[in-house]
Amino acid sequence: MKILMGVIAFAICCTVGLIQDMLSLISLTTFIILISQYVGILKYKIENSKNKRR
């Protein structure tokens, strides 16, 4: 989550500084980070449910 917050802070700085070319790359990076975080959470929940069944 620290990486995601850093990317969002950088996006805000680019918006304030009127660097619009970087924003699409930043949004794509943010989207990929969110997907990887979601997959990690799902994997963790699946592994924990398997351990509880044993």
Work out the angle at residue 31's Cα, subtended by the Cα atoms of residues 27 and 35, and round it to the nearest 5 degrees: 170
The pLDDT confidence band at residue 54, using thresholds 50, 70 and 90, is low
- Percent of the chain past pLDDT 70, that is, above it, reads 80
Confidence of residue 27 (pLDDT cuts 50, 70, 90): confident
- Rounded-to-integer distance, Cα 19 and Cα 21, Å: 6
Q: Looking at per-residue confidence, does 26 or 54 come out higher?
A: 26
Would you say residue 1 has pLDDT above 70?
no
